[in-house]
Structure 1
Amino acid sequence: MKISYNWLKEYISIIESAEEIGKVLTSTGLEVESVEHFETVKGGLKDIVIGEVLTCAKHPNADKLSLTTVDVGNGKIHPIVCGAANVAAGQKVVVALPGATLYPSKGEPFTIKSAKIRGEVSEGMICAEDEIGLGESHAGIIVLQTNVPNGTPASSFFNIQSDYVIEIGLTPNRVDAASHIGVARDIKASQKRELKLPAVDAFKVDNNNLNISVNIENKEACLRYSGLSMTGLTVKDSPDWLKHKLLAIGISPINNIVDITNFICHELGQPMHAFDATKIEGNKVVVKTLPKGTKFTTLDGKERELQSTDLMICNASKGMCIAGVFGGADSGISNATTSIFLESACFAPDAVRKTSLHHSIKTDSSFRFERGTDPNITVYALKRAALLIKEVAGGGISSDIVDVYPVKVEDRIIRVKDKNVNRLIGKALTRDEATGILERLDIKVIDSKSDEYTVSVPPYRVDVMQEADVIEEILRIYGFNNIELREFAGSDFISSFPAKDINKFRNTLGQQLVANGFYEILTNSLTNAAYQQKHNISFEGEAVEMLNKLSEEQGILRQTMLFTGLEVCAYNINRKQKDLKLFEFGKVYTNRNGKYEETERLAIYMSGNSEAESWQHKLQSLNYHDLAQIVNGILQRSAITNVNLEKIEDPLFDFAVSVNSGKKEIGRIGKVKTTLQRDMGIKQEVFYADLSYASLFDRSNPVISLKEVPKFPEVRRDLSLVIDKNITFDTVETIAHQTTKALLKNVNLFDVYEGDKLQAGKKAYALSFALQDEQKTLTDVEIENVMNNLIKAYETKIGAVIRK
């Protein structure tokens, strides 16, 4: 919700800046999200003045340009090259001086500079409407009929207004603050100032030329309905003061009648609606529901089908408005309107909420009615609006106020105990302090006893329903920051931490894999014994054979997840789905000397290209390092950090490494054996990771350590090493950390080269080293010493050649 700082000051004395008022409001519970500077024309026409064209001649080097001299005040004459066809000597014009930044109606802002245009000096720019954001016209420069002195700021000539817009994140319970006066009430209570409500004493009926009756048929949905008629009106643009107020809070002006209803909504929080009185058939307003399926066209031109519960404002024969939500197209205000019926009502929140939700219509009106408006303000709002409409549209009030109020909404009576006030606030307040705050909030004390008192809460405070709510009102105005902390902090209870849940952990890992483009699969635990027999593959323990086999293809319980996963890969590849990222949580089974064991595993499969074919990038096949990166992410999520990799021989893989944490093996990753793939009909490489799910889960309690953010900069240095092909990056990284433990923060491999420019059996690593001292800035000498030590270590330990 947006509040204009200048507008707010009309109702209450404010000596604080907009930013300071923002802090005051936040402290009372109206959280201010931003305070933005606003100008009716962006940039405020700064460095733009009114000038006079003294001379105008044709540009010698351009047919469509003119050379002018312009008096911009203080005796300054500026030569300006102008491209407008309507420029002429003697005109009063709008001139942007060098250094002025223009914000055009369309396009990006630009700054005026002194320049030469086709060889002639130009010191400024004579402006058109759209070039400075005053309008849309670009037919020519602005020519003014005025006698103001040359050099007069354009901002004052065009009455450019400056304001601050306070954006409040209004919570659903505080609809009482959904207006400028509502916000002013909180300032009144917290700052102990007087609230100045607009006077309506001048209201009087001018004649009785147009009397319209009101009948409420649905009294549950319409709590109160007030209205009056006005005639002799002229619909036109609103005056500047009204436009400026609405524009500041993000509302586009429409016409003087509609703008006043919007003004009242944001001034008082009371939504209003104006009907063209000539469209009210029978001079009757009936508040009722219409049959389900009735067609109704709203102001936006859309035809809507009504529910039987939609409350409507009708005339003698048909609907004119969806009550509290949106007006109808046939009864709205137009330029031809000369008489109106002005509505000020209170509708039941649940009725408006259901209708607004069903039709997917959200308006300023429905926003307030859904949460609850003040039934006791309808007549005051009506008088205020009528007086303003007379001011901006002429005419007169042509009927008495019609006010139908079937059942008066009474104040809520709540009993408050002193001991509960002190207990819930956490500080002993005097009775006078507490009741003084309530009185400033319009919550009146109507009875008082030694240990308790009774208060009367006005209906517009829809959120104050019980004693605890009254105490909250006292606290938010007294100030949360004014409640001192106790000497010893404590808590009323200690919450127990839930036990680790293996299913939640599985979901966490699954979500991580899915986020990286993987699909989960579920395969049968039964597999074909021929897979391992044909390739002479053996496992620890014996396979668990089924006693009542349905087929040989499903004759044993699997001892590895690989075979059933490869079946899925083959099935997809044979159907042209060749880019695969798959994972499965499952179990493997073993018979160890008559004891049956089942173990939970996480299997990951990758094959094909890393991304789908596209013009944006070249196809790149997935490789072992892509899989290793995914596994590394799984290990980090499982809080396994002390990881080391060891090359192993495994009959399932062409090459593989075991992933170890200390002396315990977590799993294995590598490229699936080519002969095994081909036997299953797969002709592309498949990379496979087999991880112990139990080991991942056991370690999944991360130890979080914190340290201060370093104050001194990190330094990067690069090295290029030529080394034997069999030397891994893990070895290179380990040597680096062993050589310089204190200053080395990270080692990164950013390029690998293998080709005919190197000797056979060699490869080149391009490495970056991040160096940092957390106590001081590293000197060049210290950095060179570290790098020299690294070079020496690589040359000595792995026979590296440093590429220059």
Structure 2
Amino acid sequence: MKISYNWLSQYIHLDESTEEVSELLTSIGLEVEGVDHFESIKGGLKGLVVGEVLEKWQHPNADRLNCTKVSVGGAEPLSIVCGAPNVEVGHKVIVAVVGTILYAENGDSFEIKKSKIRGEVSEGMVCAEDEIGLGASDDGIMVLPKETAVGTSAAELFKVETDTVFEIGLTPNRADAASHYGVARDLKAVLAQRKNKSIALCRPSMNDFKPDNTNLTIPVAVENTEACPRYVGVTISNIEVAPSPDWLQNRLKAVGVRPINNVVDITNYINHAFGQPLHAFDASKIEGGKVVVKTMPSDTKFTTLDNVERSLNDNDLMICNATKGMCIAGVFGGADSGVTNETTAVFLEAAYFNSVWVRKTAKRHAIHSDASFRFERGIDPNITAYAAKLAAQMIKDIAGGEISSNVSDTNDTFFPGFEVNYRLDKANAFIGHPIPEADTQTILEGLDIEIVEKNGSDWKLSIPAFKVDVTREADVVEEVLRVYGYDAIPFTTQIKSSIGDIKPPAATLARTATKELLVGNGFLECMSNSMVDVEYGSLSKEWEEQAIVAVNNPLSSEMGIMRPAMVFSVLQSSSYNLNRQQNNLKLFEFGNVYRKTDSKFKEEERLGIAVSGMQISESWRIGDTPADFNFLHGTLEQISQRLGVNTSKLSADQTSNDWFSFGMDWKLGDKVIMSGGQVSTGLKKAFDIKQKEVYYLEIRWADLVKLRQETINVGELPKYPAVRRDLALLIDQAVEYAQLEKLAFQTERKLLETVSLFDVYEGKGLPSGKKSYALAFKLRDQNKTLTDKEVDKTMSRLLERFKREVGAELRG
């Protein structure tokens, strides 16, 4: 939000520099994120002065150029070559001296340098209005009145206004500061507290406001008082719509608002001045001569000011005439009811709309306007009539005409705020430092918080309605503390804490150990939002549509649902990095996923791991080794070993998950604990991933942690040697290594220690549909040395089991 220093100065007398004001605003929670300098004419007309043409003669080498001598108040006149046809001796003109930077109306800029033009010296430039940003005419140089003093700066002559503009990062809870008057109120409080300055806010009085006549009275009916607790209207007739005066245009330009015409500019001015959005309707376009505030049936078509036809929801509040809608209340005007150059009478609206209704409507239609920005956060319901009167008076003064109706107000009662009991002793204990009672009172009064009653250290406070976020004692403590100054609270040299012998949960310990393992192996941790794009919900058949958890009031469709799986967040991070030439990726993320089952919501922690590109960055010592499914599976084995997970309890089957082109599911019974594989082409396309392959693994974290062995078995080193035997098996393409491993341990439970796959061959020399696996088996007897006969017997049993179960053949 932009706040103008000059505009602030209309409501509060400031002796402080812009730097001091910036520091004060930041210290009270209105963080100044940037400071800009505004000039009503770009460049501020620096280097431009009034000159007088003393001599003029034809350029000897150019028919369309003249040589001139121009006095600008210096010791010697300047020699300037000029191409304007209207330059004459005696003319008072605007001269850009050497070194001046000119900014044209179209935004172009250039520096005036001493030069030779067709052989003649030129020490400046006689300017036209379009060359210095004063207009669009390029018919010739500007000719000033004869009485204009030579040497006068153009900035002084044309009254260039300069301003300092603060860019404030307004937090959603500070609706009371969403205007210049609101910021001035905060400055009043902090200057009273920290600098002992008693300053009164000033604003135009509307006590003597009265209509000129009642010739154009437009009645108002509010059918939905929940959505619109207060609606104020007044008409102004016989106006002339025209450009606004310079001072008004400069105020708006300084805060980034484009001037349109005097009526619309005044409504924008009041919005930024006092935080009360207004809307002006062309009175001649209000069919039936009345205004009705109501909702309309769903799917009613309505064209807004940007010429977009929108389908209304039956919870969108509308400002209507007798036959149709004219405006989406508090959000956006209609295409057919606004003020144009032909407008001669306006109906001026000032309303207090329910913030929830406006917020939902604005989100539904993806419209974010200055009006909705303020209505969504909550405005002051007691300033509505004042703002309407002030705007009506300004329109009368600037656009002419007369106020042609009484002010129509559907609810002119005072809107009370909240009553809060404030205990000084509790507040001081909460802050950790005693704030003097006198300082507390000064701060509260500076913030327009009324002290209704004092009973010792217990105070009864009346909070004004414009402080929509101050409803509790803790909120008042925050208000007092921010004005008193966080920096004024001293640091203590004592540290008070209690040490509890609390063992972290197993899942926390396991998560920490896993993070350390992955980071040590070169993985990077991601952290992303749990809310993801609505479209992600339809990217997989792993869940039903009704299982998706939708966000009731999403900030946008890109944050419309709670993620049903970690794959979306991890692939989003992968896409961002891969499309920025980070081709070798190893990413992981811990996070929660969300599902809805039988009208109940389920939240579950998961771990997602993605790899792509090469395992290790290019090096002369190490060859290129791709990060593939085997690498991903190896990472899973490392995690299992680090956590002491007994993976023998899990069965491994080919996945049916449509995230993957191929992959594995690891199950405990019928429940899938982990799924991993090569990400499908469709899913990569949805995330705009152009890298050849991405491999992904998702783990149900709580289920994996349950498989941890609580005790660690420690034994002495084996006394007897192990024996290794290898088998080269010819098997069907569909057979997986996990099946062979499982069969091996089922066949030999006593002697078999490990099974490993050390070679895979597919291709020439093998029958169609076959592949070759080379397996290594490590056998050991803890009580004696194995004999060849015992080893051969065991290997025969294994081979027989492989033949019987999966049709394996011993490869010669």
TM-score, normalised with respect to structure 2: 0.64
Mapped partners of 1:4, 1:442: distance in 2 = 23
1:327 aligned residue: 333
1:42 aligned residue: 42
1:423, CA displacement in angstroms?
A: 1.1
1:517–1:581 CA contact under 8 A, matched in 2: no
2:87 aligned residue: 87
Residue 216 (str. 1) matches residue 323 (str. 2): no
Q: Secondary structure at the match of 2:130?
A: coil
2:509 aligned residue: 499
Q: Which runs of 4+ in 1 moved over 6 A?
A: 492-497, 578-586, 594-597, 675-681
1:223–1:406 CA contact under 8 A, matched in 2: no
Of 310, 317, 327, the residue aligned with 2:323 is 317
Higher mean displacement: 316-325 or 509-518: 509-518
1:210–1:229 CA contact under 8 A, matched in 2: yes
Q: Secondary structure at the match of 1:424?
A: helix
1:402, CA displacement in angstroms?
A: 0.4
The one-letter amino acid paired with 1:499 is: L
1:72 aligned residue: 72
Mapped partners of 1:301, 1:222: distance in 2 = 26
Mapped partners of 2:281, 2:56: distance in 1 = 54
Mapped partners of 1:68, 1:525: distance in 2 = 82
The one-letter amino acid paired with 1:149 is: A
Deviations 1:665-713 (A, max 9, x none): xxxxxxxx9x9999899xxxxxxxxxxxxxxxxxxxxxxxxxxxxxxxx
2:160 aligned residue: 160
1:353 aligned residue: 359
The one-letter amino acid paired with 1:321 is: C
1:420, CA displacement in angstroms?
A: 1.5
Residue 375 (str. 1) matches residue 381 (str. 2): yes
Residue 477 (str. 1) matches residue 483 (str. 2): yes
Deviations 1:13-39 (A, max 9, x none): 111101101111111111111222221
Cα distance, 1:410–1:111 mapped onto 2, change above 3 Å: same
Mapped partners of 2:69, 2:339: distance in 1 = 49
1:327, CA displacement in angstroms?
A: 1.0
Cα distance, 1:419–1:140 mapped onto 2, change above 3 Å: same
Deviations 1:264-309 (A, max 9, x none): 1111111111111111112211000111111212222222221111
1:433, CA displacement in angstroms?
A: 2.6
Matches within 5 A, 1:583-732: 593=722
1:7, CA displacement in angstroms?
A: 1.2
Deviations 1:743-781 (A, max 9, x none): xxxxxxxxxxxxxxxxxxxxxxxxxxxxxxxxxxxxxxx
Residue 387 (str. 1) matches residue 516 (str. 2): no
The one-letter amino acid paired with 2:628 is: I
1:521–1:584 CA contact under 8 A, matched in 2: no
Cα distance, 1:190–1:680 mapped onto 2, change above 3 Å: farther
Q: Secondary structure at the match of 1:130?
A: helix
The one-letter amino acid paired with 2:357 is: A
2:10 aligned residue: 10
Higher mean displacement: 301-310 or 52-61: 52-61
1:799 aligned residue: none
1:278 aligned residue: 284
1:446, CA displacement in angstroms?
A: 1.2
Of 219, 233, 236, the residue aligned with 1:230 is 236
Cα distance, 1:472–1:104 mapped onto 2, change above 3 Å: same
1:446–1:456 CA contact under 8 A, matched in 2: yes
Of 385, 400, 418, the residue aligned with 2:406 is 400
The one-letter amino acid paired with 2:289 is: N
Of 304, 312, 322, the residue aligned with 2:310 is 304
Mapped partners of 2:2, 2:208: distance in 1 = 30
Q: Secondary structure at the match of 1:499?
A: helix
1:49–1:96 CA contact under 8 A, matched in 2: yes
Cα distance, 1:499–1:152 mapped onto 2, change above 3 Å: same
2:662 aligned residue: none
2:91–2:146 CA contact under 8 A, matched in 1: no
Residue 289 (str. 1) matches residue 295 (str. 2): yes
1:184 aligned residue: 184
1:132 aligned residue: 132
Q: Secondary structure at the match of 2:95?
A: strand
1:263, CA displacement in angstroms?
A: 0.7
Aligned-residue sequence identity (percent) comes to: 49
The one-letter amino acid paired with 1:290 is: M
Mapped partners of 1:595, 1:403: distance in 2 = 95
1:117, CA displacement in angstroms?
A: 1.2
1:410 aligned residue: 416
1:594, CA displacement in angstroms?
A: 6.7
Mapped partners of 1:343, 1:396: distance in 2 = 17
Residue 522 (str. 1) matches residue 604 (str. 2): no
2:472 aligned residue: 466
How many residues of Structure 1 are paired with residues of Structure 2 in the alignment? 557
Deviations 1:707-754 (A, max 9, x none): xxxxxxxxxxxxxxxxxxxxxxxxxxxxxxxxxxxxxxxxxxxxxxxx
Mapped partners of 2:261, 2:121: distance in 1 = 45
Mapped partners of 1:299, 1:127: distance in 2 = 40
Cα distance, 1:419–1:139 mapped onto 2, change above 3 Å: same
Mapped partners of 2:696, 2:400: distance in 1 = 77
Q: Secondary structure at the match of 1:468?
A: helix
Q: Secondary structure at the match of 2:229?
A: strand
Q: Secondary structure at the match of 2:451?
A: strand
Cα distance, 1:579–1:245 mapped onto 2, change above 3 Å: closer
TM-score, normalised with respect to structure 1: 0.64
Unpaired runs of at least 5, structure 2: 193-198, 526-573, 585-611, 613-626, 634-647, 655-676, 681-689, 699-720, 727-758, 767-812
Mapped partners of 1:362, 1:331: distance in 2 = 20
Cα distance, 1:322–1:55 mapped onto 2, change above 3 Å: same
2:632–2:695 CA contact under 8 A, matched in 1: no
1:33–1:169 CA contact under 8 A, matched in 2: yes
1:785 aligned residue: none
1:223–1:407 CA contact under 8 A, matched in 2: no
1:154, CA displacement in angstroms?
A: 0.9
2:271–2:278 CA contact under 8 A, matched in 1: yes
2:92–2:148 CA contact under 8 A, matched in 1: no
Cα distance, 1:78–1:452 mapped onto 2, change above 3 Å: same
The one-letter amino acid paired with 1:332 is: G
The one-letter amino acid paired with 1:279 is: K
The one-letter amino acid paired with 1:236 is: A
Cα distance, 1:394–1:496 mapped onto 2, change above 3 Å: farther
Q: Secondary structure at the match of 1:222?
A: coil
Mapped partners of 1:406, 1:594: distance in 2 = 96
2:232–2:351 CA contact under 8 A, matched in 1: yes
1:18–1:35 CA contact under 8 A, matched in 2: no
